Structure 1
């Protein structure tokens, strides 16, 4: 299987959808909006959401309150949003692959990608890192250890099985003869990275944005990025691509953003479409965040966002099947894992 090339929407090339914006009257909220981040503070979702929320608040004229509600790999906070009144005042933020595959993993059996209006801001990549004083100095040494008898004793800090770090280590195992490991879970990617830097775990596979400051500060040693290109971060040596060791590993960018449940009033969606196209797509704050922390500035919304999200959704859904972690077959959400394509639900 060939590595999947990263195809990202850039902010400057974004608004092919701009001409199709709804002409519905702008929504004017009259009270604060709750934006539920279903992960702990400091992780990848929390970081970019706290950069984005003030932009939305200024455009809407009301406060956008970011609320961390971690648990069950993001499912608890996500369910809270699904249960809330569909009045436009309760949103969520996450990696879109999570919202799209909670049904496959059994955490939220009755939801899929089409239960959400999608607003993407950045794409992220996982990085394999170890504490600064680790015995492992490159990924090849770590991979050899994973594949040896000591593999099951190597502790890997993640934010949970369905988190970016959890799916990253599982994908690495699947690409390298299904080695065993000992996963330790935390309430978010930030805490998992910090725990690794402090020696609580031997490895972390969380996202670059959750590790960058620890890597720059010399507390974590980055061994590989799950990409087919090196990751360049200011102040550190380029992080080599995982394809240097696993050339056939399938890869897809992990898109993050803000999601509104389907069923909110049309004027809410039309207003956020406009704000995303005019403000978020041109945001220097989000662009600077991405450039600083090793993400890709990639705003999109609507049908374009859904299309960009599907490669990682398909990858994670089908990998869950291969690992024996799928509770429900991806065909129930319209994914054919034999062809690794979206086919729709009959």
Structure 2
């Protein structure tokens, strides 16, 4: 079903070419690039997805100014996104002010609170979490994502002690967008703001590793799909009909994207598509990149994991297609998708993940 609705890039003599810069006038069936053979899947039921698709402590420990006033502070979502880090603010002692941000992926719930640097520990964080959950109507989430590996010990312990699963993940699209927003609307407006207190955040990404055999599919293809159609398909993810992950484009400032704009993606075909989609669903996929220098796809998962996710023979056509796919991704602010289905002619779609290739917050 997915392949029949996807729009593939035009091919020269059956070989891949650059993605078009405009919406094509017809829907072409997706063809698996058999020359891009992936290692056969193992017998175990595991899967692989590939997508191309102030002074003093008491003065500081207070609720920080939120960028919105119509958000609930009572958590009800099953998933949280958390950030706990210093901000470019200095108290009267010249010490950095820390801030806790918690929201749900749809940003219906928001919570923010400043902390003095003398109270940065798991016990203080747990107390704040329990205070939130003690509110009337509050619901304890199943899990909470966070993207700063240097805070893993504190955040993991606080969440675990509160009965919440801690998930290191760059699928924190909402809270990362919120931090970028607050840099201009909150922190720089605060009299305590200081450029000298601004610590630039950088991800520690190493070279990509070889993909485990358990995650390998058989064929893959660069594809593109109109945003409106993609969003309709993602409703199956929201309704738990298929494996996958989604997020609201409005929470990352992309609500104005037109429904007919083409979103680039990668589709992976596998005879074991269902177990592959199920296995892939536990990877916390952040993004897929076309690495021209390595002639392969790079799958980024967790906080800083990178995997070689499919390859192509380097030639003018394949390089042009890979570069065109990355350009198409940049034109829609990094939004792209990954899909898994049995074969190009199948009516079944087993997995679909909406992704965004974006830089993490600078602070």
Task: Report the TM-score range of the alignment, normalised by the length of the smaller protein.
Answer: under 0.3
Q: TM-score, normalised by structure 2?
A: 0.25
Q: TM-score, normalised by structure 1?
A: 0.26
